[in-house]
Amino acid sequence: MADLPKSAKHLVIGAGVHGLATAWFLAEAGEDVLVVDKDRVAAGASGIACGVIRNNYFQPAMQELMAACVEIWESDPEAFSYHGTGYIALGPPAQEEELAQVFERQQRIGYDSELHTGEAEVAAHMKAMFGDWRAEGLTACLHEHVGGFAFNQESMHGLADKARAAGAAIAEGVEVTGFDSDASGSVTAVQTSAGPIEVEQVVIAVGPWVASLWEMLDLPDSIDVHHPDGSVEKDKPMWTYWYLQEGEVSLPPATLNTDDGSEPPVLHVDSHAPLRADDGTVLTEEPWGIYVKPDRESVQGGAAPLTVGPEFEVDPYPTGTVDPKFPDEWCAALSHCLSRFEGCRESYVQVRSGGAGAFTADNFPVFDRMRDNVYVAADSNHGYKMIAVGKEIAAELQGGHSTLLAPFRFERFATGRLHPVSQSPYPWS
C-alpha cells in the first residue's frame, strides 16, 4: 500500500483467516477497517494449513462454532476453494464412546452425519466407498456429510478479495512493533514499521506470533489454571508451541477417489493396530493417527502434532522439519488403510514441512477483549476451519454479543469454566 493511513477505526493485525474474516464482516457492515500484515496475505498458519474442515470435537462449544463455520465455507465454495466432500473419523474401541457423544450432539444441532459401530459394520461402510479398504480393529466411524477441505492459499486470497471488495484496506509488509495506551489502558495508537496508526479498536489475529503481541500488551506469560473440580495448576505457560507434521505423496489427487469416481471425504484414522511397513517391519506398536486428503496435485495429510514447549523462534515461518520417522509411518498408515497406497513411500515428497502453532494453557481458543479496545483472536491452532470467528468478532465490535464465542473467554482460566477434556489417547479432539 503506497500511503498507509494515519488512523483507522478498526485496525486488524494479521492477514490470516481470523484477521481477514473479521475485516470482511466489519467492512460489509460499513465500518472503516485496515488490516496490516508484516508479511503478506496467507503468510502464516492459514496459508500452510492442511485445510481440513470438520465438526468432530468432543467439546460442545467447539462443535457449535464449527457448525457455524461450515455455513460460511459453503456460502461461496468457488471463492474459498472449498470442497464439501465430508469428513470421516475412524477409531478403535477407545474412541467409540466419545465419537458416539459427538454424533449425538451433531444430531441435536442438525449437523448431517452418521455413526457406525462394530468392526464389521465400520469395514462395510468403508468398503462400500473404497473397495480396497483393509484397516483392521476400527470399531467406530463418524461420517460427517458436510465439511471437507479447502486449499489454503487460494481460500485466504478469496477471503482477502471479499474483504477488499467490501471496502477493507489490506497493507502488506507492515509490522506492528508496539502499542501506545492512555491512562485507562485503552490503546490509542499502534506503532508499526511504517509509522504510528491512531486507532479506535484493535484486533490481534497473529496466529503463532501471538506470544509477542501478548507481551506487548503486558499480559502474563504464565497463568494459574482453575479446574472445574477446584484444583489449580499454578503458573502454567500461557503459550506452548506444537509442531504440526505434514507430508505429501506425489500421486495424482484422484488416487484417493471413491470407487464411483467421486472426490473423497477427508479420512482421519486413529488406530492401535501395529503399524507395519509394506515389507512387514513393525514401525510402531504405539497408538497412531493420520489424516489424508487430496491436494492440488498430490495426496496430502499429517499425523499427530509434536509438543515443542513454551519457547520457540517462530520466524522464519514455517520453521523446522518433521520427525524423521514421520514419512515412513505416514506412508505405512496410508497403505495400512487402502491397498492402493502400497509402495507409496517411494512417492513421498518433503515439500511441506508442516509448521508450528501456539496453544493456550488449556489448548482451546481465547477469543476475548484483553483491553477495552483490544480484541485477541488466539485459536490455539484449531482455526483454519474457523472462518466464522471473524463474523462473530465483527458483531461484537459493533456492540453485539456472541454466544458462540462466549465459552472462549480468558476468564475461564480463573473461574474454572473450562471445556470438557477428551479421554481419547489421541491428541486431536
Ligand X SMILES: Cc1cc2nc3c(=O)[nH]c(=O)nc-3n(C[C@H](O)[C@H](O)[C@H](O)COP(=O)(O)OP(=O)(O)OC[C@H]3O[C@@H](n4cnc5c(N)ncnc54)[C@H](O)[C@@H]3O)c2cc1C
Q: Which residues bind ligand X (CB under 6 A)?
A: 13-19, 36-39, 43-46, 48-52, 175-176, 205-209, 244, 246, 354-355, 357, 377, 379, 381-385
DSSP string of 113-175, one letter each residue: EEEEESHHHHHHHHHHH-TTB---S--EEEEESS-EEE-HHHHHHHHHHHHHHHT-EEEES--
State the Cα angle at 63 between 61 and 68, rounded to 5°.
100
* Shortest spacing between CB 149 and ligand X, in angstroms: 7
Q: Burial-class residue 315 by CB neighbours within 10 Å (0-12, 13-18, 19+).
A: exposed
* Shortest spacing between CB 15 and ligand X, in angstroms: 5
Of residues 123 and 375, the one with the C-beta less far from ligand X: 375
* Shortest spacing between CB 206 and ligand X, in angstroms: 4
* Shortest spacing between CB 224 and ligand X, in angstroms: 25
Of residues 350 and 415, the one with the C-beta less far from ligand X: 350
Of residues 42 and 331, the one with the C-beta less far from ligand X: 42
* Shortest spacing between CB 52 and ligand X, in angstroms: 3
* Shortest spacing between CB 19 and ligand X, in angstroms: 5
Distance CA 386, CA 28 (A): 19
* Shortest spacing between CB 276 and ligand X, in angstroms: 26
Distance CA 115, CA 97 (A): 11
Please tell me what DSSP assigns to residue 252. Answer: -
Distance CA 125, CA 73 (A): 27
* Shortest spacing between CB 172 and ligand X, in angstroms: 9
Please tell me what DSSP assigns to residue 363. Answer: S
Of residues 382 and 419, the one with the C-beta less far from ligand X: 382
- Mutual orientation of helices 389-397 and 17-28 as an angle, nearest 10°? 50
Of residues 38 and 391, the one with the C-beta less far from ligand X: 38
Distance CA 53, CA 87 (A): 8
Of residues 7 and 321, the one with the C-beta less far from ligand X: 321
CA-derived radius of gyration, the chain:
22
* Shortest spacing between CB 274 and ligand X, in angstroms: 27
Of residues 123 and 355, the one with the C-beta less far from ligand X: 355
Segments of 260-365 assigned E as strands: 266-271, 275-276, 282-284, 288-294, 299-309, 348-349, 355-359
Side chain identity at residue 192, one-letter code: T
Which helix H or strand E contains 22, and what residues bound it?
A: helix 17-28
Of residues 39 and 198, the one with the C-beta less far from ligand X: 39
Rounded to the nearest angstrom, the gap between the alpha carbon of residue 331 and the centroid of all alpha carbons in its chain is 23
Of residues 40 and 340, the one with the C-beta less far from ligand X: 40
